[in-house]
Chains A and B, each alone.
Chain A
């Protein structure tokens, strides 16, 4: 059974710092891994998706990597801003199967 874990559950960093959010999964036979952002009381917004054949994806200040052999993905945020404050969730999926989410990391960027 696929389990997805995100550590830490919460993180506070000063504005301008670079930071890394971690996501680990137990079943390396994933099809793709997706990172989402959720603001309080809102739905989820997709940030990046990494297919199993890829090692990383980049969008602006965000970079996500995938290491299937170690069961890990990381989301790197460069030059953090107060607007980056949100909960970040990762989700692992197998082809034609249900998608499993981690519990998320609540990020707070201190002005």
Chain B
């Protein structure tokens, strides 16, 4: 079955540590996205990538980094510079066609800073 796999589902981090969240898709989608979700805040865009080896900052990129070395993979690193990293992180992908831009989401990763 095609889909998006995020791992780990739950992650605990000590202050000052970097952590990397994995996102893999086998949908052959061109674009991939990372969103952060906090209670009452909705989804906020961190980074997005439309093609391999290229990515753009979203609305809240500070303290985060990404890479897009393969079409299937778009890992997100939460660095120690992110002051409030506890949140639910969602990865998505979409196909850029002339018809539509349909988002498909992974199940999410919940990060808690101890």
Contact = CB atoms under 8 A, between A and B. Distances in A.
Given A34-B103, A49-B100, A49-B102, A102 B108 contact: no
B64 interface: no
Interface string B1-39: 000001000000000000000000000000001010000
- Counting chain A residues whose Cβ lies within 8 A of the other chain, the interface size class is 20 to 34
Interface stretch (A59-67, A74-82, A88-96): A88-96
Contacts of B42: 89, 101-104
Contact of A44 (B48, B90, B100): B90
Contacts, number: 60
Contacts of B33: 98-99
A99 B107 contact: no
B45 interface: yes
Given A96-B96, A99-B33, A45 B43 contact: no
B45 A99 contact: yes
Contact of B106 (A32, A34, A43, A100): A43
Given A34-B103, A99-B33, A103-B41, 9 more contacts: A31-B100, A36-B103, A43-B105, A43-B107, A46-B102, A49-B100, A49-B102, A89-B43, A93-B101
